[in-house]
Amino acid sequence: MTSHPILPGATIGVLGSGQLGRMFALAARRLGYRVHTFSPEYDTPTGQIADEEVRGSYDDLDAVRAFARQVDVVTFEFENISVASTEAAAALAPVRPSGSVLHTTQHRKREKQFLAALGIPVAEFVLVNSLADLRDGVIRLGTPCVLKTAGFGYDGKGQAKITPDTDLAAAWQAANGSESVLEAFVDFECEVSIIAVRGLQGEWADFGLVRNDHARHILDVTTAPAAVSEGTRREAVEIARMVMEALDVTGVLCVEFFLTRSGLLIVNELAPRPHNSGHYTVDACLTSQFEQQLRAVCGLPLGSTEQFRPAAMANLLGDLWQPQRPPAWTQGLALPDVKLHLYGKAEPRPGRKMGHLTALAASPADAAARVRAARGLLTGL
């Protein structure tokens, strides 16, 4: 496959069609690219922006091949795609990041073994393939601990906290008896993440460390930059670079960490794509995470990640929508330093990400307070 730059006017293929693909497509359109998206759904957030929306199963290899024939490069916004599908696409167009990156990061067992082999700190874990394994793992790790299915988990899905009172047989049944990872519970001060980008020739840039506050296992508010020491920031950058080089990533990758009370960074998860915690970059940085993804996968020079001002992002979940009464958009938009992004999803559901708000302010704390206040105005609270 060519290593020459894929220039504006070319067609980018996106596997997946959610809000990450939507914001990627907006960035690609601005630079003069055409965008095709492939997913099992229709009238999707990405499809509403793309030039072509192709509907098909990720496991339909003939459909994936037909899609790849029509584009100049393939990327993705959703990592739960089989290696067979990425290999089918790669026979016809460059796939960036590669299917091997997906193979490692979409599966908790492989991901943790990869990180541990690099000497990168992760929570102590035990591989679980049976109820007996689970019982032995709980004895070894103690409680509380967390049982996570090895594949297809995000936003807290496929996870269960194990306490001394937990019925282990019921917990194993709830995991559908599937291959899982049991993790020791980390007593952390906060959760942080870093988004970095690596170009086709190994060029590198990062957006710095941000703080992530969660509610019900879903990201609630991101504050950028995180209030951490310079040493912690440098360590996060070093880990992200080590991971991306070891995986040979071309594109964007997010590393999620627990920051312990003693100042230790422990890697929680990897996401080889733009990430919810980087949405603030659209309004707060010279180059957004989505434009960086485009530049990287097309072999273009990377853009500056300079941040204009401290910023914060708040997710808007379907819970904000009441029967027969949408959020009070006029009240929220009355704050001139707050930006609204909606994803074009027709059906609001509890826990479903429908959009986000971004606020810029004089300090990270002020930005976080501002974006929370704006979200409160949407509900009338």
The sign of the torsion formed by the CA atoms of 286, 209, 340, 253 equals positive
Q: Which of 149-153, 365-369, 375-379 has the highest mean pLDDT?
A: 365-369
Q: What is the mean pLDDT of residues 104-128?
A: 95
The answer to whether the beta carbons of residues 374 and 359 sit under 8 Å apart is yes
Say yes or no: do domains 11-95 and 124-184 share a fold: no
d(CA 172, CA 147): 9
d(CA 82, CA 88): 10
This prediction's pTM: 0.94
Cα dihedral 221, 225, 226, 231, rounded to 10, equals 160
The CATH class given to the 188-379 domain equals: alpha beta
Q: Which numeric CATH code is attached to 124-184?
A: 3.30.1490.20
Domain locations in the chain as residue ranges: 11-95, 124-184, 188-379
Per DSSP, the residues of 119-188 read: T--B--EEEESSHHHHHHHHHHH-SSEEEEESBS--TTTTEEEE-TT--HHHHHHHTTT--EEEEEPP-E
pLDDT for the residue 19: 98
pLDDT for the residue 1: 46
Order of strands, edge to edge, in the sheet holding 52-55?
Answer: 52-55, 34-39, 11-15, 73-76
Closest CA to 22 of 7, 6, 5, 39: 39
pLDDT band at 152 (very low <50, low <70, confident <90, very high): low
d(CA 231, CA 12): 38
Does 3.40.50.20 match the CATH number of domain 11-95?
yes
